Amino acid sequence: MWEYTEKVLELFHNPKNQGVIPPDEAPGVAVVFGEVGSIACGDALRLHLKIAVAEDLILDARFQTFGCTSAIASSSALTEMVKGLTLDQALQINNHDIAEYLGGLPEAKMHCSVMGQEALEAAIYKYRGINSPVHSEDDGPLICTCFGVSEAKLRRVVVENQLTTVEQVTSYVKAGGGCSSCAAQIEDIINSVQTSRVAVEVAAASTRPLTTVQKIGLIQAVLQEVRPVLQADGGDVELYDLEGDVVKVNLKGACGSCASSTDTLKQTIESRLRAKVLPSLVVEALL
Amino acid sequence: MNPVIYLDNNATTMVAPEVVEAMLPYLTCYYGNPSSMHSFGGRVARAIKQARGQVASLLGAEESEIVFTSCGTEGNNTAIRAAIAAQPERRHLITTQVEHACVLNLFKQLEKQGYRVTYLSVDRRGQLDLMELEAAMTGDTALVSTMYANNETGTIFPVEQVGAIAQAFGAIFHVDAVQVAGKLPLDMQNSPVDLLTVSGHKLHAPKGVGALYVRRGFRFRPLLLGGHQERGRRAGTENVASIIGFGKAAELAQVYLADVAEERELRDRLERGLLAIPDTVVNGDPQNRLPNTSNIGFKYIEGEAILLSLDHYGICASSGSACTSGSLEPSHVLRAMGLPYSILHGSIRFSLSRYTTPGEVDRLLAVMPEIVDRLRALSPFSNDQADWLQAQDSRQLATINNN
């Protein structure tokens, strides 16, 4: 028997915002849905959003979920969390926030919160006309064929949740939970993420001013952390040049073609570089 | 809290009050060691002998053919290893895809040690194909090991025919009868079975005791070595009180076998009631099925969510869905049967006992339609033709078949 929090049980027994949002003909309003998971995997979520086009604002959110107690509770929590947010604000929500809203999830059930985050992105990207980030070909090869998990998705979840073991990865995205033949590859991904994280931390601990070479090395390490996240959404980032504290990057792919997401992205990368490398860094995206 | 309605008797059962009563003196007054020379221990040895007789009687076996164990898992491990040791020159083993984990995981390990293992498939009803078995048999086959009846679906295998085929090739025949003892009459005297596993807690004895039937004359190799308990076939001081309890439970079960038709009728009533809910199916062999088991697939909804909803009403059942297993994969039994995913994840097993009342079944039937309606209203799936569902179903099935 799983140990669920009161909040999980409450949202399971009395879920909020279940169902679909019917098409709305009203001017200035768009209705869209995003879906992830499958009946084969044992859980699937279809998230419906009603969006005020001019304000880029989520007016309403509903869900349909096939899945266990925590999948239903996570979906319901997500709909409560995103209502009233702008799309850019909503995109900041990650699986951790969903789990936190629920007062925590058993680790083996964390994949339910990941599913929520993915459905939210799927819905927003669909609305913005960006190719669905889920299971796309340019994600690279699948690492876990049992549950269809790509390397990009694995890197992303390892980075975002600071996972350190294969068991944790299985709990978060199911990868490795089937035939488990990919366990060694998951291990490699965890190790490579940890290596770049350590490099950044070592540099941060040093007190001497950074040389240009050091700066470039650290910026590269941070970008390596960010890249899988972008790649999962069909985009990419590349360091083009460094002039003093101005970091010039190429933003590529689906994300680069969308003006509003480019701004968000620039800010995200900049804040990460400032936190991890040097507070004075400025990011400039080459168009 | 609601009174518990326990419909999970294939997982474990209530200890019968008569069993507790029979055990108590051996937890309090008579704590002697049955191996001791004094009469205080001798008294305990006599009680164990009586229990051995009671279990032998339930199985239609002789007292000397019963070895007490700690559980079904130990019985199965011991039997399979003993069978291999009896004919060491033979290197091929046969079992089925739907065995309990304690059998399957042992066979997987034996494969790594160089044995060749055939895992027989089952059809949509969970039934074996005897032709497939015959085709797999060779002069190198040391052992055929199958269940008597499946714990998840209740499907009963044709044990007599399987045994005849095993015998024809000189292979040892082991049967895991954990789900059958106390539910169907057993007669080892007139059966082709060499080794048969039973477990106490499935028939109203406590957990921690089981028995292995070893046909007289079988060249047995023990798993545990040590003292001369169980005539050298299972070393270790006897779990006295539980063995006494197991004996009593076996005696009660044998009496109860005459009334098992009532339990079957109650099960059938439960099943008819659940099948009245749209988009539900029975998983298992309708002709050859345990009288107490009903495995129902509720399409388009997920098992753990159903179980938690039932739990709200104090109703206990179990599910083969991925979320309940903790392994992320749905039941290997239902997958081996080739059930579509729309059924797989929403399959619930209800298993009755002689203590199940018509009122309890009525209570289940009263709450189930509402639970199913509620979860279906939440589900994005509603029929098998949905593209989203279909595409995933076939893709995933292909993956599984490749593994």
The pTM score is: 0.81
Taking the C-alpha atoms of residue A68 and residue A64, their distance in angstroms, rounded to an integer, is: 12
Tell me how far apart the 2 most distant CA atoms of chain A are, in Å. Answer: 61
Q: Using CB atoms, which residue from B380, B396, B403 is nearest to A46? A: B380
> Per 3-state DSSP, what percentage of chain B is helix, strand, and coil (rounded to 5)?
45, 15, 35
Q: Which residues contact A205 (CB under 8 A, 6 or more apart)?
A: none
Q: Tell if the CB–CB gap between A66 and B329 is shorter than 8 Å.
A: no
What is the distance between the alpha carbons of residues A258 and A215, in angstroms, rounded to a whole number? 29
Q: How far is CA B63 from the centre of its chain?
A: 23
pLDDT-based confidence at residue B74 (cuts at 50, 70, 90): very high
Residue B397 has a pLDDT of 45
Element (H, E) at B281: strand B280-283
Nearest CA in chain B to A174: B328
Q: Are A182 and A143 in contact (CB under 8 A)?
A: yes
Q: Where in chain B is the domain with CATH 3.90.1150.10?
A: 5-11+260-402
pLDDT band of B388, cuts 50, 70, 90: low
Average pLDDT over residues B181-209: 97
The residue-averaged pLDDT of B289-309 equals 95
Whether pLDDT at B113 is above 90: yes
Per-chain mean pLDDT for chain B = 93
Query: Residue B249 and residue B205: Cα distance in Å, rounded?
Result: 5
Amino acid at residue number B194 = D
CA B388 from centroid of its chain's CA atoms: 36
- Extract the tokens encoding B389: 């569902």
Per-residue pLDDT for A131 more than 90?
no
Q: Pick the catalytic residue from B29, B102, B316, B323.
A: B323
Give the architecture-level CATH label for domain B5-11+260-402. Alpha-Beta Complex (3.90)
| Six token digits for residue B84 | 């291999």
Tokens of B85: 């040791």
* Cα–Cα distance, B28 to B255 (Å, whole number): 28
**CA nearest B302 in A: which residue?**
A67
* Token reading at B203: 């028939």
Q: Residue B164's pLDDT is what?
A: 97
Q: What is the DSSP string of B31-98?
A: ---TT-SSHHHHHHHHHHHHHHHHHHHHHT--GGGEEEESSHHHHHHHHHHHHHHHSTT--EEEEETT
Taking 60 as the threshold, does the pLDDT of residue A137 lie above it?
no
The highest-confidence range among A149-163, A228-242, B141-155, B379-393, by mean pLDDT, is B141-155
May I ask the CATH class of domain B17-256?
Answer: alpha beta
Query: At residue B208, what are phi and psi to the nearest 5 degrees?
Result: 100, 10
Q: Do A71 and B380 touch (CB under 8 A)?
A: no
Closest residue to B345, CB basis, from A12, A15, A42? A42
What is the rounded average pLDDT of the residues B131-150?
98
Q: What is the mean pLDDT of residues B235-260?
A: 96
Does A46 score more than 90 pLDDT?
yes
> Which chain A residue lies closest to B398 (C-alpha atoms)?
A146
> Which residues 6+ apart lie within 8 Å of B235 measured at CB?
B222, B224, B225, B226, B227, B228, B229
Q: What's at A156, amino acid-wise?
A: R
The encoded tokens of residue B335 equal 């997958």
Q: Report CA torsion sign: B124, B118, B98, B202.
A: positive
Instruction: Flag whether pLDDT at A211 surpasses 90.
Output: no
Strand, helix or coil at B127? coil
Angle between helix A151-161 and helix A166-173 axes, rounded to 10 deg: 110
Q: Which domains does chain A have, with CATH numbers?
A: 6-127 (3.90.1010.10), 137-200 (1.10.10.1100), 209-286 (3.30.300.130)
Asked if B70 and B210 count as a contact pair (C-beta separation under 8 A), the reply is yes
- Identify the pLDDT of residue A215: 86
> Å from B397 to nearest chain A CA?
8
Q: How large is the average pLDDT for residues B35-60? A: 97
Q: What is the pLDDT of residue A151?
A: 83
Chain A contact probe: residue of B306, B310, B329, B335 with most A CBs at under 10 A: B329
B102 is catalytic: no
CB contact under 8 A, A39 and B389: yes
Residue B263, SS3 per DSSP: helix
Q: Could you tell me if B301 and B372 are in contact, meaning their C-beta atoms sit under 8 angstroms apart?
A: yes
* Residues B6-32, mean pLDDT to the nearest whole number: 97
For residues A109 and B337, what is the distance between their CA atoms, to the nearest angstrom?
Answer: 27
Q: Which residue of B has its CA nearest to A148?
A: B396
Q: Does A153 touch chain B (CB under 8 A)?
A: no
In 3D space, the residue among B245, B255, B210 whose CA is nearest the CA of residue B354 turns out to be B255
Mean pLDDT of A191-195: 82
How confident is the model at residue A209, as a pLDDT? 76
Say which amino acid occupies B394: S
Does residue A18 belong to the interface with chain B, where contact is any CB pair within 8 Å? yes
Q: Give the pLDDT of residue B326.
A: 61
pLDDT for A203 beyond 70: no
Listed in order, the ranges of chain B carrying CATH 3.40.640.10 are 17-256
pLDDT at B334 exceeding the cut of 90: yes
Per-residue model confidence (pLDDT) at position B288 = 96
Which one is predicted more confidently, B193 or B331? Answer: B193
User: pLDDT tier at A235 (50, 70, 90 boundaries)?
Assistant: confident
Question: Both tokens of residue B177?
Answer: 């009868």
Long-range CB contacts for residues A256-259, cutoff 8 Å, separation at least 24? A256/A285, A257/A130, A258/A128, A258/A129, A258/A130
Q: What would the mean pLDDT of B185-205 be, rounded to a whole number?
A: 97
- Helices A151-161, A183-205: axis angle to 10 degrees equals 40
> What ipTM, to 2 d.p.?
0.85
CB pairs under 8 A between A and B: 98
**Considering only CB atoms, which chain A residues are within 8 Å of B328?**
42, 147, 170, 174, 177-178
Q: What's the pLDDT at A202? A: 67
pLDDT surpasses 60 at B394: no
> Residue B390 has what pLDDT?
52
Question: What average pLDDT does this structure show over A102-124?
Answer: 91
pLDDT per residue over A89-108, tens digit each? 999 998 899 999 999 999 88
Mean pLDDT across the stretch B308-315?
95
